[in-house]
Structure 1
């Protein structure tokens, strides 16, 4: 019977321990950045309430794929590029404010009759495009994901960068799936009138975020 050298066994155990620790550290940091309420979370939750499963899963896929791309870009060192391109941040702030305003106003104008034919109102392509736009036109989400996670990944030892990044990506996919599932469960007690008011409250929240981005845009011009 072959025996594993004690030193080799300890080294292997130490490596696996470091990989596991890096994964859970990435998971924890990813959740810390993604869980707090934001335009992306409000939109995905709204899709779960308005559309239910399985159509809301397309919002989950779009949001999680966008986060995955941003995390990979952060790991590749793109955060420095964001700071070096003149006018990029103001442009992102303006685009984000305009798009969130559009979504907020649309939600505020929701009527009960719009829930009579949801398949005609919402298509898979619309859900994917709008979720991607909310995810990628939000400067704060981009700076958090690319900047903070990118810097955190770069700070890891070479052997633990991949598991750290995988943990952060796993956090995004898991959170959005939980969010959509909870929203779908809430549908069971939501009448048309309640869903209208939910949409209107979501619209107000989106307008608050739009206003926040607009204020920051004006500050960049001062």
Structure 2
């Protein structure tokens, strides 16, 4: 039986977690500007979140917490990933590497290229693992029966709504990114977000 209260709880938690701009969101914004394979991008992003939530609810989050060394390696690896991503975005912002020259904003990508690239940035994103497996998954695992599935569906719905809105919003404002300054601002914002997330994870780990 569907548990409305648990669904709402999962929806609100997912909305709070997924609406912060991370590596996957920056990727979605850039790909959405070109207007290519938008439904595919949404499906893979939300589907990867659903998979990671299911892993966490299925006991993977408990496995990580029972092995502090494994969790520590995963978190510090994730911090390193975020820092590297931030440095690349900062370099792009300073050098003005991302800009449109009057044609397409981005090179054309095939369906398969988009599928693989989206899956990689979704499943290898450490912050997504923290949000979905350790936070959402562990809370879902603490619930039982219908409440667990309803909670998971709520969180997955939040992911789907977020990425649907992000792709359409980004594509609607694609003309803005015919200017190099807009790309510099986006890259600078992404760099700040990556460094902020890395600092947050590091601070929480050291406490």
TM bin, normalised by shorter chain, reads 0.7 to 0.9
Mapped partners of 1:76, 1:214: distance in 2: 24
Q: Deviations over 1:49-85 (max 9, x none)?
A: 3x2x243443322221211101111221211111234
Corresponding residue for residue 43 of structure 2: 61
Task: Please tell me whether the aligned partners of residues 96 and 210 of structure 1 are also in contact (alpha carbons under 8 angstroms).
Answer: no
Q: Compare 65-74 and 123-132 and name the one that shifted more.
A: 123-132
Aligned residue pair count: 201
Task: Please tell me whether the aligned partners of residues 92 and 138 of structure 1 are also in contact (alpha carbons under 8 angstroms).
Answer: no
Give yes or no for the alignment of 1:44 onto 2:28: yes
| 2:119 aligned to which of 122, 132, 141 | 132
Matches within 5 A, 1:160-175: 160-175=147-162
**Structure 1, unaligned runs of 5 or more:** 1-14
Task: Please tell me whether the aligned partners of residues 97 and 213 of structure 1 are also in contact (alpha carbons under 8 angstroms).
Answer: no
Q: Shift of the alpha carbon at 1:209? A: 5.3
Please tell me whether Structure 1 or Structure 2 has the larger radius of gyration of its CA atoms. Answer: 1
Matches within 5 A, 1:70-149: 70-85=52-67, 87-93=69-75, 95-97=77-79, 99-100=81-82, 103-104=85-86, 106-107=88-89, 108=92, 110-112=97-99, 116=103, 118-120=106-108, 122-149=109-136
What's the TM-score once normalised by structure 1's chain length? 0.70
What's the TM-score once normalised by structure 2's chain length? 0.75
User: Once superposed, what is the RMSD of the aligned Cα atoms?
Assistant: 3.4
Q: 1:102 to 1:150 in 2, by over 3 A?
A: closer
Give yes or no for the alignment of 1:190 onto 2:174: no
Q: 1:79 to 1:174 in 2, by over 3 A?
A: same
Q: Shift of the alpha carbon at 1:180? A: 1.1
Q: 1:97 to 1:126 in 2, by over 3 A?
A: farther
Q: Shift of the alpha carbon at 1:32? A: 1.7
Mapped partners of 2:81, 2:113: distance in 1: 14
Mapped partners of 1:61, 1:104: distance in 2: 26
Corresponding residue for residue 30 of structure 1: 14
